[in-house]
Every structure is written in structure tokens, then in C-alpha cells.
Amino acid sequence: MHADTILHARWIIPVGPSSRSHRLSMTDAPSGYGPRDHPHGLVLEDHSLVMADGLIAAILPTAEARELVRSTGARSIELPDHALLPGFVNAHTHVAMNLMRGVADDLPLMRWLRDHIWPLEGRFLADDFVHDGSLLACAELIRGGVTCFNDMYFFPEATLRAAEAAGLRASVGLPVIDFPTPWGSGPDEYISKGLALRDEWHGHPRMSFMLAPHAPYTVGDEPLQRIRVLADQLGIGVHMHVHETAHEVMEAERLTGERPLARLDRLGLLNEQFLAVHMTQLNDDEMALLRDRGVHIAHCPESNLKLASGIAPIARLKALGVNVAIGTDGAASNNDLDLLGETRTAALLAKGVSGDASAVPAAEALYMATLGGARALGLDERIGSLEVGKAADVIAIDLNQIETQPLFDPIAQIIYAASRQQVTHSWVAGQMLMNERRLLTVYEDDLLANAESWRARLVTPST
Amino acid sequence: MHADTILHARWIIPVGPSSRSHRLSMTDAPSGYGPRDHPHGLVLEDHSLVMADGLIAAILPTAEARELVRSTGARSIELPDHALLPGFVNAHTHVAMNLMRGVADDLPLMRWLRDHIWPLEGRFLADDFVHDGSLLACAELIRGGVTCFNDMYFFPEATLRAAEAAGLRASVGLPVIDFPTPWGSGPDEYISKGLALRDEWHGHPRMSFMLAPHAPYTVGDEPLQRIRVLADQLGIGVHMHVHETAHEVMEAERLTGERPLARLDRLGLLNEQFLAVHMTQLNDDEMALLRDRGVHIAHCPESNLKLASGIAPIARLKALGVNVAIGTDGAASNNDLDLLGETRTAALLAKGVSGDASAVPAAEALYMATLGGARALGLDERIGSLEVGKAADVIAIDLNQIETQPLFDPIAQIIYAASRQQVTHSWVAGQMLMNERRLLTVYEDDLLANAESWRARLVTPST
């Protein structure tokens, strides 16, 4: 067997496949319930993960792996206090908005957008702003264990350059909106620029694309019909904010008599390639429709709470079989890109809102943060779980810290107690991006200085 | 002026008093709303805090403070990227339960208690268990910026010894419950042991006490009447779980025709010395009653969500003028003692549940985590804000990190973006407990080894 690097870990949590055939003995635990009983709750103890040519070549007991080190001369990394798991997938971001983190808080969505975000974007939205904000966000994502993010913003070429430089995997939205911005005059130009960008990057091993119409209230029927045709022809997904607030749904009903989701279905957009972000407002028929169409949900609980938009009924959607991924949304409305923390919030909130403490158990939450996210982006053949043949998108979490000891169950400890600062290592397609918390592809000091210089520009009064 | 140590900080956030007369110029920010506009939103830039004999002796511009360093020979500590703020007050804990963190998850309150927690307590509850769990928790609390915690558990003498050794400030509950435990046979013995313990520690500068009847459904009228009399006579507070779940309230109504809060009021317990924990089930009359009686609330949103107990209507309580403090609850039901994260959850949840994004703005959330907590424990004369004459219970948070840059507003950044790992220094009564993340009063390696040895004992099947 060929091997580049072999990671010897205390625990390996593969997440997929959803089979229990590989169940090995786990840390003894009291008679209680635990993630071990869940289809995604497999935990391998004292196993090693073998990387070769950017892929996962094997997962095997560490005793066997040490033989392999000797025979192949592979690099060996000891992770005696760590769990290895698939890198987190952040299913909804606006990474450039890291430059506007905390610029306006404690406001509802429309006032926040109209009075603060849109005016600042009007003044500063340009290639350099998007590149610098995206690179700052990439550093935050890597430090938090995210290995793939799904973005929606203008100047996506700048986000692509940042993700490429940082070594992250990205699903980049090709934005479409009915009004002009510094990036384009309207839907025609947005679509043509987006497709040209996709052509330019086609075949890149870490970059993929989704069409990204902003929201039902900002994109008309004609562009949406073109988007549907393009998505079918090109076989790519569609990423869109839908039913973020009650106001959005009520206004659509008042003006057109039709709820936004019904309109999207009439236009043929709802299918297994459609990723609906937020979805805080859903009646029973709509939940059944989502299930029937195979639509994926990007759940952004902290942004939804902070903007008082509502709470997506995740426990019910999961029970129906709808695939739910987790997104942080942009740093201006969250205010972080902490996918692990977001997943914890999602799990807690699902229990609290459904009134069922067993809703979204820890292993299910971990699935949403990894393989569920990969499915939502159409990338589950390549990433989202630790399986032989998949890309080596892997993170290590050190669980031997005051905050996570004693340890009865690694999955419960990761979801309910660990923080993203316990992520120590990260690899994407076999490339190490972080080693013992040190970033290897970006320079933190430069990023901090650059963030401060953007702050000074943003607070300068407009003239 | 006498001075032991002087902290030169980029920002000082005093939290109290609630006057804006001391407002100084703040970092420029865009025209948006910000915590600066809040009565607790004062931020001093380039100021220094002077400690002397365990108290805050002065807060003054750093230029003046540097003169004082020269004239007094005080120790000088540079905190150029940091905000100084009052240490967090964790208003509801069961610190010994850190040894049961993650032992059983994804279960509702009564199954979790009856099938898992109570059986384990039956086997292991003893002085050594409580001491070791408490000391482990003290390390977590210090690392997370908590300088004072309010506990409720058996063997409080063991928790006291741990807090004393760790250098933390503690408000220790004297537990009362109608059934026997390894600590006592019933209410009579609990009360007499508790009062003896209080006498023993009376006058300790960092330790205070509250009577701690467990809950309405576990303590009868007779012991509650004795507790009321004792609280009046001794001038100490009462700390009790109340209306944690709908089940608790419904069962009381079914069995007695009386809601638990009404019963407590009938028994004369509700007053300004009463701290009601959880309070997820409240009707309008009850909220008005809490305001009229001056009752304090310890809000534990993550535990309430995780156990699907309900959500306390904090935005409405705050609007009525009820004092709300924040508690993490025990690590077995949360699963952390992260008071900063808990406060963030409280702020986000209050917005989401009330439908008002301006509810519980950042400065209000910070107040709940500090001075609001101190008020709830009857300690606001001594702690909870950075004011001359108060105890030097101070923490420093490093905001120059990838996750908190650029920075437009320190308070918003602390509440909505910073994590507890950014707390770098901690002092209680002027004693440094953590220096650049290094704990000075406890040995982390010993604590980790001890936690692992307890894990091994807990998972051993009972015979």
C-alpha cells in the first residue's frame, strides 16, 4: 500500500457509512444511552488513518498501521489524546462579511440590512474587500475545524482566490440578484460572469459551484427560470435564502397570494439539487413538500435567533427524513463562523423547541455538521465522512483538556462540551492546513493587521 | 496612593454603575447602534486598573497610571490587546457534577435523573467525589473567566475546600431535601449540618452561603417554613430550582391544586433574597409577582434546552424589571461551565423567542453575566463591576485574535464573537489565578489524571 502520512489517533469517528457492521468495542461507559447506539455513532479506538495522494487509503488498527509506517516510510503523526473526524462542512456562509463582524448588532434583519450592511457594501464592495474578508474568514474556518464552506457573495472570484491560497475546499455560489451592485448590472450580467468564472476554474480538485439566487424577494421569475434550466443542463445545485422571516412570507402572500416556497416549486426549482437556507417559517404541507422533492436545508440557528427571524423546525424535518446541514451564515449576523458551536446550538435548540430531549442526539448532530453538509452540496461522494477512497479532509480534536474530562463518550463530548479551540490539526485533500493550532497556509499577523486597516476605512465617515 | 498591581489595558469595561456620567470617548464606529448607547455600555480606552490589598483602588488613564507605577513601585502588567472586565458570576452550578459530564445525554430531566444521575450519586456521593469534581470544575471556571460561582450540592464542605484551594469566590448552597442521601438523613440533619458549616467558615472573605432547598417537588412545607425563618434571622438568601419543567408545575397542580410558585409565595419565601433557578414556566401573573416580590432569576438556557425543559421568558422578565442572572447548571446537563457561551445563548435565545432582535442587547447580556449575578447572590456591594472599593475580581480578554477582528465594539465582540479561551488572566480579591492562560492555584495534569481515575470507577458495573 502507498502511504504519505499516517495519523495514529486515540479515536476515529468515521460518521459514514450509516452501517453498524464495522462496530468495534468502545470505551466502557455506564449503562446509559449514548451516541454509540446511533447509526452514525461508530467510534474506533486506537486506530490509524492512512493518507495517500490526497485520499484516505485505509483506516486500520494502530498496531497494523505501525507496520505500514516501517514498510512505506510514511510520515507518522501521533495523536494520543485526539479524536479524528471528517472536517466540518459549513453549509452557508458569506465569508467576505468577516470584515463587518460586529459593525451593527441587536437589530432585526431588514433594518440591519438597509441601514447598515447595504450602505457599507455600497461604499466598499470590491475585489479587494471580498478577497481580504474571505482570507480572514478562511483562517477562522481552519482554526475551527471547517474544511469545506459553501459561500454566497459578490466578487466570487476573490473568494475563490482566497480559498485556493488557504487550501480550503469551497463550494462557491454564483450570485444572482435583480438589482445592480459593484459586481454587475443585473441578472444577465451576474449569470454570464458566474458561468465564465465556473469555466475558468472547472476541474479544480477543491472548488465546486452552485447557482446562488439571493432570495425569493430579490429575484424575479424570469431569472429563476433561467437558473432552473442552467442547473439542469450543467448538473449543478442551487443555493438560496428561503423563508428566512415571517415578514418575507407574509409580504409575498400579500403581494402575490403565493408563498415563496410554492412559487419556487411552481418554477420547478425544488429538487435534490436545491439547498434552501434558513426555512424558519414552514407549515406541515411545506415540510412534506420538502421531503417529497428531496430539498436540502441549511440550518443557521444562531443567525436566525440573533436577527429574531424565527426557528427552523429541525427535529420535525429530520423525523420526516429531510436532509439538514448546518451553516453559520456571515460573521456580520452571527457573529462567528464556529460550525461546532453552531451544531451544538442546533442540537440544543431542536430539543428545546420540540420538547423532546432525545431529538437530534449527538451523533445525529455530528452527521449534520459533516456528511449531511456534504450531501447538501452534492459532494458526499468525495467528502463528509472518513471512508477509504474519499478525500483526506480530516481534523483532529484534543479531548484531554479540563473542559472535556472525564470522557465517557467522544461524540457527546465533542458536540456538547468541546470548543473549536480544541481542534488541533486540519488537512484538506491530504494537505496539512493547521498543525498543533499553527496555521500553515496563511499568516495570522498579516491578517490581523489587514483587518485593522479595513476597520479604519469602514469607520471613516462617507463624504 | 497604595498600589500592589496595576493593569494597563486597551479597554476597561466597568459594567457598573448604571450611570453614563463617566462616558469617555470610545473607538470610532460607523453610525450604527452599539452597546455604547446602553446604560451599562461604558467602555474606557487606554485606562489602567489599580489593585491594592485585594480591592480596586483606582481606575485612571494609563498615562497617569504609569506615573503611579514609578512612585509606588507597583507591579505593572501590560494588556495592550485586552479588555478588562469584572469576572463572570455563574449563578447556578453543581460543580461536583463535572465528574459526570457526558455520562448520559439526550434524555429528558426525570429519566436523566432517575435512570442515570441518582443511581450514580447513590453509589459515589461522598466527600472525595465532591471535592475532586469541584476542584476540576474550579479549573474550568477559572479558565473561562468565572470568578464567583453559586453552588448547590451535597457535601458542601468539600466544595468549600476546593474553592478555597483554587482561590475562587463561592456562594455555597446549604442543601435541603426531603429524602436521605449519603450526606444526611433528612431536612433536620441537612439544616443543622449546613448551619454548622456556615458558622465554621463565617467571616471568610471569599465564601458566602445561601440556604438551598432543592425544589418544590422535593421539599415539604415544614422544612420550607423553617428555611424562611432562618433566612430572615440570619439575613441570607435562598437558592432553589423552581418551575424547571411543565411536568413539575402540572403535577403540583394535579396533586395540590396549587402551582409551585404560588405555594412558595404562600410560605413567605418570595422576596429580594430569593433566587429562583430555571423558571421556564411562567404566566403573566407570575411574572408580575416576581417583579413585585423582587425575586431574582437564575437563567440556565442551555440546560433547559438540552433537557427540553422549556425556555424562560427573559426578554419579558427584563422588560418588567426583574433581575436576571446567568447560570450554567451542572456539567452533566449542559455540558460545560462556559458562562460566556451561556450568556451568548441567553442573548440570542431572548431575541429569537421574543421575536425582537433588540431584546437583551450585548451590554445588557454582559450585565446579567456580572453585576446581575452579583445582585442575585446578594454580593453586589462587593463584586460584579469594576468600581473603586469593590473587590479586585477582574478578568482580561484578548480580543486581538482572528475570531474577534476587525473590532468595532468591544462589548459586542465579547458577547457575540469571543470565546472563553480568549480569557487570558484572572484575579479574585487581587490574587492572580491565571496568567496568560496558565493556572496558578491548581495543577492541570493532576486534575486530568484524577478525572480519568474517577471515570474508571464510575464505569465499573455495580455489584
Q: Quick one: pLDDT band at residue B38, thresholds 50, 70, 90?
A: confident
Separation in Å, CA B304 to CA A90, A291, A377, B450: 26, 30, 33, 29
- For chain B, give the percent of residues with pLDDT over 90: 91
- The pLDDT > 90 percentage for chain A reads 91
Query: Considering chain B, what percentage of its residues have pLDDT values greater than 70?
Result: 95
8 Å CB contact between A242 and A276: yes
User: Is A308 within 8 Å of B455 when comparing Cβ atoms?
Assistant: no
- Band (pLDDT 50/70/90 cuts) for residue B21 is very low
Q: Residue A71 is inside which H or E element, if any? A: helix A62-72
The C-alpha angle B9, B10, B14, rounded to 5 degrees, equals 70
Q: Contact, A328 vs A299, CB < 8 A?
A: no
Structure confidence at residue B31 as a pLDDT band (50, 70, 90): very low
Residue B1 has pLDDT above 60, yes or no: yes
> Would you state the cell numbers that stand for residue A445, as one nine-digit string?
499577523
pLDDT (average), residues B438-455: 98
- Residues of chain A with Cβ-Cβ distance to B351 below 8 Å are 106, 305-308
Q: Is the pLDDT of residue B95 over 60?
A: yes
Least confident segment among A104-108, A319-323, B68-72, B146-150: A104-108
To the nearest whole Å, the CA of B279 is away from the closest chain A CA by 14
Overall average pLDDT of the A336-349 stretch: 98
Average pLDDT of chain B, as a whole number: 94
- List the single residue in A29, A106, A419 with the smallest CB-CB distance to B33: A106
Residue pair A207/A172 in contact (Cβ under 8 Å)? The answer is yes
- Is B32 in Cβ contact with A116 (below 8 Å)? yes
At B146 the pLDDT is 98
The reply to whether residue B105 touches residue A412, judged by beta carbons under 8 angstroms, is yes
| pLDDT over 60 at A29, yes or no | no
pLDDT in tens, A71-92: 999 999 999 999 999 999 999 9
Close Cβ partners of B64 (under 8 Å, ≥ 6 residues apart): B48
Q: B34-43: buried (b, 16+ CB within 10 Å) or exposed (e) per residue? A: bbbebebbbb
DSSP 8-state assignment for residue A461 = P
Q: What is the mean pLDDT of chain A?
A: 94
pLDDT at B103 over 50: yes
Task: Give the pLDDT band (50/70/90) at residue A110.
Answer: confident
Rounded average pLDDT over B299-307: 97
Question: Are A419 and B357 an interchain contact pair (Cβ–Cβ within 8 Å)?
Answer: no
Closest Cα in chain B to A330: B417
Of A310, A355, A408, the CB nearest to B308: A355
Of the residues B37, B404, B405, the best mutation for testing chain A's interface (the one with the most A CB atoms within 10 Å of its CB) is: B405
**What ipTM was estimated for this complex?**
0.95
What distance in Å separates the CA atoms of residue A453 and residue B80, rounded to the nearest whole number?
17
Is it the case that residue A149 has pLDDT exceeding 90? Answer: yes
Query: What is the distance between the alpha carbons of residues B171 and B379, in angstroms, rounded to a whole number?
Result: 9
pLDDT of residue A35: 55
CB contact under 8 A, A358 and B106: yes
Residues in A closer than 8 angstroms to B30, CB to CB, are 103-104, 116, 120, 458-459
Residues B357/A108, Cβ–Cβ less than 8 Å: yes
- Per-residue pLDDT tens for A391-403? 999 999 999 999 9
A419 and B417 in contact by Cβ < 8 A? Answer: no
Nearest chain A CA: its distance from B420 CA (Å): 9
End-to-end CA distance of chain A: give it in Å, rounded: 65
* The dihedral sign for the CA sequence A68, A70, A71, A73: positive
Q: Is residue A232 pLDDT above 70, yes or no?
A: yes
Distance from CA of A102 to the nearest CA of B (A): 6
Check pLDDT > 90 for residue B155: yes
- B459 vs A28: CB contact, 8 Å cut-off? yes
Q: Please tell me which residue of chain A has the smallest CA distance to B303.
A: A348
Chain B CA closest to residue A400? B448
Report the sign of the C-alpha dihedral through residues A252, A253, A257, A258, in that order: positive
Is the pLDDT confidence value at B28 over 70? no
Q: State mean pLDDT over A412-421.
A: 98
pLDDT > 70 in chain A, percent = 95
pLDDT at A36: 56
CB contacts of A444 in chain B (<8 Å) are: 402
User: At CA B369, angle to CA B368 and CA B370, rounded to 5?
Assistant: 95
Distances (CA, A) of B394 to B306, B339, B384, B418: 31, 15, 9, 17
Q: Distance between CA atoms of B288 and B293, rounded to whole angstroms?
A: 9
Half-sphere exposure of A148 toward its Cβ, with a 13 Å CA cutoff? 36
Q: What is the 3-state secondary structure (H, E, C) of chain B?
A: CCCCEEEEEEEECCCCCCCCCCCCCCCCCCCCCCHHHCCCCCCEEEEEEEEECCEEEEEEEHHHHHHHHHHHCCEEEEEEEEEEEECEEEEEECHHHHHHCCCCCCCCHHHHHHHHHHHHHHHHCCHHHHHHHHHHHHHHHHHCCEEEEEECCCCHHHHHHHHHHHCCEEEEEEEECCCCECCECCHHHHHHHHHHHHHHHCCCCCEEEEEEECCCCCCCHHHHHHHHHHHHHHCCEEEEEECCCHHHHHHHHHHHCCCHHHHHHHCCCCCCCEEEEECCCCCHHHHHHHHHHCCEEEECHHHHHHCCCCCCCHHHHHHHCCCEEECCCCHHHCCCCCHHHHHHHHHHHHHHHHCCCCCCCHHHHHHHHCHHHHHHCCCCCCCCCCCCCCECCEEEEECCCHHHCCCCCHHHHHHHCCCHHHEEEEEECCEEEEECCEECCCCHHHHHHHHHHHHHHHHCCCC
CB B287 within 8 A of CB B316: yes
pLDDT at A61: 97
Whether A187 shows a pLDDT value over 80: the answer reads: yes
Are the CB atoms for A210 and A151 separated by under 8 Å?
A: no
Who contacts A53 (Cβ-Cβ below 8 Å, separation ≥6)? Answer: A2, A4, A430
pLDDT higher than 60, residue B279: yes
B351 to A305: CB separation less than 8 angstroms, yes or no: yes
Q: Of the candidates B28, B402, B447, which has its C-beta nearest A139's C-beta?
A: B402
pLDDT over threshold 80, residue A247: yes
Q: Which of A101, A352, A358 sits opposite B311 (nearest CB)?
A: A352
Q: Do A308 and B359 touch (CB under 8 A)?
A: yes
* Dist CA A24 CA B243 (whole Å): 43
The beta-carbon neighbor of A447 closest among B345, B402, B454 is B402
Q: How far is A186 from chain B (nearest CA, A)?
A: 29
Residue B41, min C-alpha distance to chain A (Å): 13
CA distance B432 to chain A (A): 19
Q: How confident is the model at residue A286 (pLDDT cuts 50, 70, 90)?
A: very high
Length of chain A: 463
In the predicted model, what is the mean pLDDT of residues B59-69?
95
| Cα of B165 to nearest chain A Cα, Å | 17
Could you say which DSSP state residue A206 is in?
S
- What are the Cα distances from residue A24, in Å, to A14, A20, A38, A44, A394? 12, 9, 14, 6, 21
CB pairs under 8 A between A and B: 245
Which residue on chain A is closest to B35 by alpha carbon?
A105
Determine, for residues B358 and A140 on separate chains, whether the beta-carbon distance falls below 8 Å: no
pLDDT score, position A37:
63
Q: Could you tell me which chain A residue has the CA closest to the CA of B415? A: A335
- Flag whether pLDDT at B27 surpasses 60: no
Determine the average pLDDT of the residues in B447-453. 98
What does the pLDDT read at residue B39? Answer: 80
Strand partners, A89: A148
Backbone angles phi, psi at B89, to 5 degrees: -110, 115
Min distance B393 CA to chain A CA atoms (Å): 22
Please count the residues of chain B: 463
Alpha-carbon gap: A238 to the closest alpha carbon of chain B (Å)? 28
Identify all chain A residues contacting B399, using CB atoms and an 8 Å cutoff: none
pLDDT tier for residue B37 given thresholds of 50, 70 and 90: low
pLDDT at A23 over 50: no
Give the H or E element holding residue A302: helix A301-306
Q: What is the pLDDT of residue A255?
A: 96
Give A-chain residues touching B308 at CB under 8 angstroms.
Answer: 351-352, 354-357, 359
Task: Give the model's pLDDT for residue A50.
Answer: 97
